[in-house]
Every structure is written in structure tokens, then in C-alpha cells.
Amino acid sequence: MKKVLFFLIAFFAIANLNAQIVNPVKWTSRVEKLSDVEFNLIMEGKIEDGWHMYSQFTPENGPLPAEFKFENAKGNYELIGKVKESPYKKQFNDVFEVDEYYFEKKVTFTQKVKITNPKLTSIKGKIDFQVCKEVCSSGDNIFNFALPKIEIKNEVAPVTTVDTVSKDTTKVVKKEPKSEEVAAKPLMPKKEEKKGLWTIFFLAFLGGLAALLTPCVFPMIPMTVSFFTKHSGSRQKGIANAIFYGISIIVIYVVLGLIIVGVFGAEALNALSTGVAFNIIFFMILVFFALSFLGAFEIMLPNSWANKVDRQAGKSGVIAIFFMALALAIVSFSCTGPIVGTLLVESASKGGIAPIIGMLGFSSAIALPFMLFALFPTWLNSLPKSGGWMNSVKVSLGFLELAFAFKFLSNADLVLQMHLLEREVFLAIWIAIFGTWALYLFGKITLPHDSPLSHISVGRLSLGLLVLAFTVYMIPGLFGAPLKLISAFPPPQTYSESPRGFFGHSNSTSGEKSDLPEGAVLGEHDIVTFHDYDKGLAYAKKVNKPIMIDFTGYACVNCRKMEINVWSDEKVLDVLKNKVVLISLYVDDKRELPENERTISKTTGKEIVTYGNKWTDFIISKYKTNTQPYYVLTDLNENNLNEPISYTPNIDEYLAWLNDGISKFK
């Protein structure tokens, strides 16, 4: 009876342990034969509902990207290219201030290899990854790819499938041959993606409205509408012709978007957007466009194009109207070209069908006035007269393009981690650009194509004041202010000459640093923090304070949210600074342990080679979980003072938990 009772207790203990360890991704793998010596190693993950896993292309300073390792390649096989992956979703993360790329439901990774050792029977690979829901969890999986016997044949060999859900247990299944590339089913767009496309459309529409106010387009509105209303025989036909003219404009620009997507491919555009070359090239393109708008030169399409189109437009019928719309696009290119180019650059960086949506929004704004004024010709009388103000609009767009260009250069610098365009440098450039723009609007400086200015209008003065206010707003950013209004544009505060701000940085790196306990650093909000558990425990015993263990991660979104939104509260901050000893253990710390500290986990059986592995094994073995953030209050004998908690965005609830644990400390 005692044995039975012991067995039941052990069974439920193990069941409880497994219930708390988060493992939301189930992995399988298979090998696809491409030729006698080339294979695809395919890793497929099934992700539980509500969780998402990050792509290997997630930018620096963001969530933890997937990483791959393949063992014993030298002399046995060659890796051909990088690991390919199924389409990911993209969403801006306002905590890390970068776009994050992630998968939901399922993911497929494919690594192509070429075998150089015919006796090779298997390849061992490993993936390190991060999954998040309300909490985050770092995980890994080892794959053992069993290779079929290598035989030289002219026919296509069947596919061998390997199931690696459990410990290197393989299940071989014969499948029909597949194409050389893994056919990835596109993921269904989610609400954020739809919202992103609507944002592209809206911004492109605004760009079209701005193009309407330039010297190349605005004077064409009354001329074109008058032509349709006076030379179409009847008002109804004139309206119909004007509407067809507007539709033709939309078709022309949407076709341009289709060509961009067709040439590069929807997913290729998305992948390109993360590349250094892409960002540097687009930086140069936008600077080129900006200089054109500022008056350095004009971008003109060949005159022969316009002449040929004009000859077609001189004929009658709907074909002629279409060519009239094409003539407008060509003749106005010196003004619309930089705007169209900028929109294509931005929409291409979003990937998918964004270039088509962008051109739809832009052309709709261009076409709409021609249609509306044809329907209501008396509105023409309310149009402002052409004049020097149109060049001011053009120059203003040039300043905006110049500022926007540096965002792409910043992206390249962040990826390369060259620290040439850190946050302070980026903001200094923007302050200079917008400050110069304000001076221009106030009439203090003039550019080549400006008309003589005897006074400035109320509208120009209002815009100048707005630009000046924005310039002044950015100045505190040089000293560490967060600048939430433009958080998506400058580099994050961690990518800075003064990561804690100008004043905070000087405080933390001067003589005060010697006042910190051994092994401690100034963490978030200048809280004295230990990153080593033993040193933190020793200090807590010395000062006789309870310990708060903060299991966190550099790439944990909700960990940052807790630090920014909850720890910043005055009462919470007082507790963390004065009433506990904070030990923050980063489970995704990739620094390697010294050789004498590396071991095999007694709990999971996995190798512990990095500090992140060490703290991950600590949280699993001692607290039976692997999620972050995870907060534990303990006494000096390492006993819990109360129940640990995870992500708790409610400040009052979190503060009550802190005070409850501290009250029980003896």
C-alpha cells in the first residue's frame, strides 16, 4: 500500500512539473532529397494558439531571433545558403522600437546541404528560439536528420521523413517527390497587417494631396476640367470623360505598383527591407529626391516620351483620354516623381502588396479633384491662384524627404552595429533639418526657385511655428528624453552615446560607480541590480534585506513593459531601490560560461554552455517554470516569502505583492 501511495505521489508531482513547464512549440523534421548529394533539411514547428515565435530576421535590439547550429559539417557536408523560412508576420513593437517578425500556428525552416562524405548517415542540428504570449519563454530543440543511402540514380528519389518530437526517435515515411523549394503556404493577414495597409493607403493619399499643390500639377486642374466641360459636346459627356480621366490616372499608378511587386515579388520586398544594401540604396535615392525638391536640379523624363503620348492624346475617344492621363503623369514627374519614389520605398519596406495599395492611395488623391470639379465646375472659382506658394510646398516636401532618408541610413547602421548614427547624432541631424525648414518658412533663407517674398502668409507662419515647436521638442532627446511622439524613427535609447541619458550617464560612470557593491550595476531606473545570483545573495545577507529574483530576458517584451510602466511608479521604485536586493537573471544571455562551469542539466539533460542556459536551468529546476517575466521574493535562506508572480501590469496589484512578501521577511 505504501508503495502504491508513493507511486501516486511521484506521478502527480511529475505531472505537476510538466504542467508548469511551457512548451508551446512541437517540432518535427524531415529530409527531402534533391539530387544524389543535395538535400533539404526541413524543420516544422506547430505553435499553440495565442503564442508567437520570432523569425531569424527579427532586427537587432528587438525580440530574440531564431538561431540555427549544425554540427560536424567540416569534411562531411556543406551548408548551401542560409536557412529559409515560411512567410512571417510583421508588426511594429513600441517597446523595443523596431519591427518584429514572427510566426503563428506553424512555421517551416529549410536548410539546403550538399553531402561531401558519402558515408555520412545523419546530420545533427539545433534551433534556439523564443516564444511569447503574456509571458516569454526561450526554448531549443535538437534535430537528428537521418539521411537515406546515397545512390547515384537518374530518377528522383523519394522523400524521407524524420519525426523528432521525442528523444531522437525517428519515424521514416515514404512520400512523393516535391519540388526543389519548400512550398510555403502564405499566412492569413491579421488585423495588424490590415491596419498597416490602411496606414500605407492613408499616407499615400496625403502624399497625393501634397503633390496636387506642387507647380507641376495644380495649374493642370482648371485647364483639364475646362477642357472636358467645354469640348465634350454636353455636360454629361464631359463629366463622364473627366471621371474616365481620373480612373485612368489611378490605373496608371496602380500598374506601376503592380510592376514593382511583379519584378521583386511580394515576399522578396519584405526580406529586402531588412537588408543593409536595401536601406543604404534607398537612403541615397531619397537624398537625391530631396535635393531635387530643394531646387538643386529637376528630374525630367525624356521629352520624346511626352511628345509621343501627346500625339496619341490629340485623337478622340477613350483611348485619347487615357493618353491624356499618361501625359499628365509624364509631364508632372519632376514634382510627383520624388513623392511616388518615396512612397514606393516606404511601401516596399512593408512588403506584400503594400506598393499597390500605396499607388492606389496616391493616385486616388490625384484623380479625385479632376472628377469633383467636373461634377461641380463652380468650385473652380474657389481654387487659390497659382503662385510662389507652390514652390514653398515643394521645398517643404524636400525637407521632409531629407529627414525621412536618414531613417533608412539609421536602419543600416543598427544592423551593422557600427555606432556611426547613434541616437544623439540622428536627433542632431533631424534638429538641423527641421530647424532650417522653420527658418525657410519664416522667410529667413531662400532657395533657387523661390519668388521674392515681401511678407509671409498666416498659413505659412502657422506651419513655421509648428515646425519650430517640433524642433524644440526634439532637443531634450539629446539629453535622454524618450520623445514618444517619434519613437519609431530615431535609434532606441540603448543605441546611444549616453544610454541612460546625458545626466544619468555621467552619474553612473563617474566616481559613484565605485560605491556600488561588488558585482552590482545600475539597472533600470538606476536600481542597484545584480546579474549573478551568488553575489546578489551574499550582498542581501550582508545588508539583511529580502531578495527579489527577476527572471527576465533582453528580448522579452513584457519584461520591458513591466520595467517601463510598473517599476517606474514612485512607490514600486522606492521598494525596489530601498527594501529589497534585486537580482536580474537574463535567460537569453548568450555569453559563454567558463569551461569549468559548463555542465549537463540534471533536470532537462541539456548542455549548459551560456549564462542564459544557466539561469534557464535554475528557473526550471527550482521554480518548475520557464516563463519570463517571473518574479520571486525570498528570504536569506532562499525560501519563498509568498507565491511568485509573472506579468502583472496592474501597479497596485504588483505593489501589494511586494509589500506582502516584505512583511513576512524576518
What's 446's DSSP letter? -
pLDDT of residue 181: 34
C-alpha cell at 44: 516544422
pLDDT in tens, 523-548: 878 899 999 999 999 999 999 999 99
What's 142's DSSP letter? E
Q: How far apart are CA 180 and CA 245, in angstroms?
A: 47
For residues 108 and 59, the answer to whether their CB atoms sit within 8 Å is no
Describe the strand order of the beta sheet including 581-586 as a list of residue ranges: 520-522, 528-530, 581-586, 547-552, 630-634
Q: How far apart are CA 516 and CA 319, in angstroms?
A: 79
Rounded average pLDDT over 184-188: 36
Higher local confidence (pLDDT), 338 or 657 = 657
pLDDT of residue 160: 40
Instruction: Output the CA–CA distances (angstroms, integers) from residue 299 to 25, 293, 333, 590, in the order listed.
Output: 53, 9, 7, 50
Q: Which of 63, 28, 273, 283 is closest to 160 using CA atoms? A: 28
Q: Which of 34, 44, 27 is closest to 86 using CA atoms? A: 44
pLDDT of residue 180: 34
Q: How far apart are CA 552 and CA 636, in angstroms?
A: 21
pLDDT in tens, 364-414: 988 888 888 877 777 777 777 666 677 888 888 889 889 988 988 887 786
pLDDT of 464 above 90: yes
Task: Give me the long-range contacts of 180-185 (CB less than 8 A, separation at least 24).
Answer: 180/34, 180/40, 181/84, 181/110, 182/32, 182/40, 182/42, 182/84, 182/86, 182/108, 182/110, 184/85, 184/86, 184/87, 184/108, 185/86
Please state the pTM of the whole predicted model.
0.47
Query: Sign of the CA dihedral 544, 545, 551, 557?
Result: negative
Q: How far apart are CA 581 and CA 575, in angstroms?
A: 10
pLDDT in tens, 495-529: 777 765 555 543 333 334 457 888 898 887 889 99
Burial of residue 238 (number of CB atoms within 10 Å: 0-12, 13-18, 19+): buried
Q: Report residue 159's pLDDT band, with 50, 70 and 90 as the boundaries.
A: very low
pLDDT in tens, 65-107: 898 999 888 888 999 888 999 988 888 776 776 778 899 999 9
What's 499's DSSP letter? T
pLDDT in tens, 28-42: 999 988 888 889 999
pLDDT in tens, 564-595: 789 989 999 999 999 999 999 988 787 889 98
pLDDT of 194 above 80: no
Q: How far apart are CA 507 and CA 500, in angstroms?
A: 9
pLDDT of residue 317: 65
C-alpha cell at 79: 551548408
Query: What percentage of the chain exceeds 70 in pLDDT?
Result: 76
Q: What is the mean pLDDT of the chain?
A: 78
pLDDT of 163 above 80: no
pLDDT of 431 above 90: yes
For residues 544 and 636, the answer to whether their CB atoms sit within 8 Å is yes
pLDDT of 121 above 60: yes
Q: Kindly list the structural domains of the chain, giving each domain's residue range(s) and its CATH number in brackets, ordered by start.
A: 25-175 (2.60.40.1250), 194-386 (no CATH), 516-663 (3.40.30.10)
pLDDT of residue 236: 79
C-alpha cell at 83: 536557412
Residue 429 neighbours by CB under 8 Å, 6+ apart: 403, 406
pLDDT in tens, 274-308: 557 777 887 898 898 888 888 887 766 666 655 66
pLDDT of 471 above 90: yes
Q: Helix (H) and strand (E) counts for the chain?
A: 19, 19
Angle formed at CA 202 by CA 381 and CA 218, multiple of 5 degrees: 30
Describe the strand order of the beta sheet including 159-162 as a list of residue ranges: 77-85, 106-115, 38-47, 25-33, 159-162, 174-175
pLDDT of residue 462: 93
For residues 423 and 493, the answer to whether their CB atoms sit within 8 Å is yes
Q: How far apart are CA 432 and CA 438, in angstroms?
A: 10
Q: Report residue 322's pLDDT band, with 50, 70 and 90 as the boundaries.
A: confident
Amino acid (1-letter code) at residue 23: N
Higher local confidence (pLDDT), 421 or 195 = 421
